[in-house]
Structure 1
Amino acid sequence: MDNIKDTVLEVVKSILPITIVITVLQFTLIWLPMETFLQFLIGVLFVGVGLILFLLGVNIGLLPVGEMIGAALPKTKKLWVIIFFGFLLGLVVTFAEPDVRVLSTQVEQVSAGAIPKSILILSVALGVGIFVALAMVRIIFNINIVYLLTVGYGLIFLLAAFTPQAYVPISFDSGGVTTGPLTVPFIMALGVGVASVMKGKSASSDGFGLIALASIGPILSVLLLGVIYG
């Protein structure tokens, strides 16, 4: 019950400010049709209920399962198993990420189908999967994350020079949407789980940084997509 109460309060605190601001604007400046404003209020209610159910699902299911999987993989003592399933889980969780689907739909509409929705989702998912696998390698071999981030962003700026300009903002937005409400808790839990059971690793220092790496993958993959399509 405490978990439900805390989740409800968290959601109310999140959506109440924007609801108040829109309401004040409605009756002072913008004066939208009342039907539209009522639709907004109904939408706020649906969003609130949806967020409560979603966050409860994350806390009850995704986080514990992610940590358990992360803790179980090193016990196989097979490097390829940890890396492969890191890649696979990064791939499939991105397919389920709602933010990625919203972005891909809008890009397909704006580009009049020049950038297909399915291709963009696949590119983003592959980028996340590859870099989650790389994050597993970082944890196992204790590689300094600064080096990986430096090389990653160096490649991004290099590729951006050869990619059509239309793909550059899309690529950075793709990196942003992967840090959504589904991908972040699961991938972080996975990293913490792996680091927590490996000797000489700290869950607080080695288990984090996965999201920073995972956001680089989609940027690179969409830039490469621009090079190919461009």
Structure 2
Amino acid sequence: MDNIKETVLEVIYSIAPIALVITLLQFTIIWLPMEDFIQFLIGVLFVGVGLILFLLGVNVGLLPVGEMIGSALTKTKKLWVIIMFGFLLGVVVTIAEPDVRVLSSQIENVSGGAIPQSMLILAVALGVGIFVGLAMLRIIFNISIVYLLAGGYALIFLIAAFTPSYFVPISFDSGGVTTGPLTVPFVLALGVGVATVIRGKTASSDGFGLVGLASIGPILSVLILGVIYG
């Protein structure tokens, strides 16, 4: 019950500021038709209920399951199993990410269908999957995240030089949308589960940084997609 109360208050604190600002603008500057303003209020209510249910689902299901999967994979002591399932989980959770679908549909509309939604989703999902697998290696072999981030972004800027200019902002937006409400909790929990088994609770912080690494993957994959389309 306390968890439900805290979640409801968290959502209210998150949504209330934007609702108040829009309401203030409505009656001072913009003066939208009342029908549109009422639709906005109904939308805010739906978003609030949806976020409450989503956050409860994350706390009850996604986070515990993510940690248990990470722990179970590590206990197999098989490197290929950890990397393969890290890759697969990164792919499927990205495909389910609503932010990725919103971006891909917008790009398909703007490009007039030249960049298909399904192609962009697949490229982003593969990028995330590959780098989640790489992040598993980083945890297992205790590789410094600084080297991986520096190498990843150096590769990004190198490939960007050969990519059509209009693909560059798309690629960086693709990296941003993977840090959405579905991917982040699951990937973080997965990393913490792996790190906890390998080096104990005191080293569970090694499981962090996965989201930063995972966001590099879609940038690279979309840039490569740009080279192919270009």
Residues 28-47 of structure 1 mapped to structure 2, 5 A cutoff: 28-47=28-47
Tell me by how many angstroms 1:228 deviates: 0.1
Residues 40-79 of structure 1 mapped to structure 2, 5 A cutoff: 40-79=40-79
Tell me by how many angstroms 1:199 deviates: 3.3
Tell me, which stretches of 5 or more residues in structure 2 are unaligned? none
Find the residue that maps to 2:207 and give its secondary structure: coil
Residue matched to 2:111: 111
Q: Deviations over 1:121-165 (max 9, x none)?
A: 000000000000000000001111000000000011111111001
Looking at structure 1, the residues matched to 189 and 74 of structure 2 have their Cα atoms a distance apart, in angstroms, of 14
Instruction: Find out whether 1:189 has 2:173 as its counterpart.
Output: no
RMSD: 0.8
Residue matched to 1:85: 85
TM-score of the superposition, structure 2-length normalised? 0.99
1:125 partner amino acid: A
Looking at structure 2, the residues matched to 211 and 70 of structure 1 have their Cα atoms a distance apart, in angstroms, of 15
Looking at structure 1, the residues matched to 165 and 40 of structure 2 have their Cα atoms a distance apart, in angstroms, of 35
Residue matched to 2:18: 18
Tell me, which stretches of 5 or more residues in structure 1 are unaligned? none
Tell me by how many angstroms 1:8 deviates: 0.2
Could you tell which deviates more after superposition, 158-167 or 178-187?
158-167
Looking at structure 1, the residues matched to 59 and 199 of structure 2 have their Cα atoms a distance apart, in angstroms, of 27
1:173 partner amino acid: D
Instruction: Find out whether 1:176 has 2:188 as its counterpart.
Output: no
2:13 partner amino acid: K
Q: Deviations over 1:73-116 (max 9, x none)?
A: 11101000000000000000000000000000000000000100
Find the residue that maps to 2:27 and give its secondary structure: helix
Residues 145-164 of structure 1 mapped to structure 2, 5 A cutoff: 145-164=145-164
Find the residue that maps to 1:181 and give its secondary structure: coil
Looking at structure 2, the residues matched to 202 and 229 of structure 1 have their Cα atoms a distance apart, in angstroms, of 43
Residue matched to 2:210: 210
Residue matched to 1:122: 122
Residue matched to 2:199: 199
2:87 partner amino acid: F
1:202 partner amino acid: A
Looking at structure 2, the residues matched to 50 and 74 of structure 1 have their Cα atoms a distance apart, in angstroms, of 34
Tell me by how many angstroms 1:66 deviates: 0.1
Find the residue that maps to 1:198 and give its secondary structure: helix
2:204 partner amino acid: A
Looking at structure 1, the residues matched to 64 and 199 of structure 2 have their Cα atoms a distance apart, in angstroms, of 21
Looking at structure 2, the residues matched to 116 and 202 of structure 1 have their Cα atoms a distance apart, in angstroms, of 42
Find the residue that maps to 2:118 and give its secondary structure: helix
Tell me by how many angstroms 1:54 deviates: 0.3
Find the residue that maps to 1:137 and give its secondary structure: helix
Find the residue that maps to 1:165 and give its secondary structure: coil
Find the residue that maps to 2:199 and give its secondary structure: coil
2:122 partner amino acid: L
Percent identity among equivalent residues?
81
Looking at structure 2, the residues matched to 199 and 63 of structure 1 have their Cα atoms a distance apart, in angstroms, of 20
Find the residue that maps to 2:203 and give its secondary structure: coil
Residue matched to 1:225: 225
Looking at structure 2, the residues matched to 111 and 86 of structure 1 have their Cα atoms a distance apart, in angstroms, of 33
Tell me by how many angstroms 1:64 deviates: 0.2
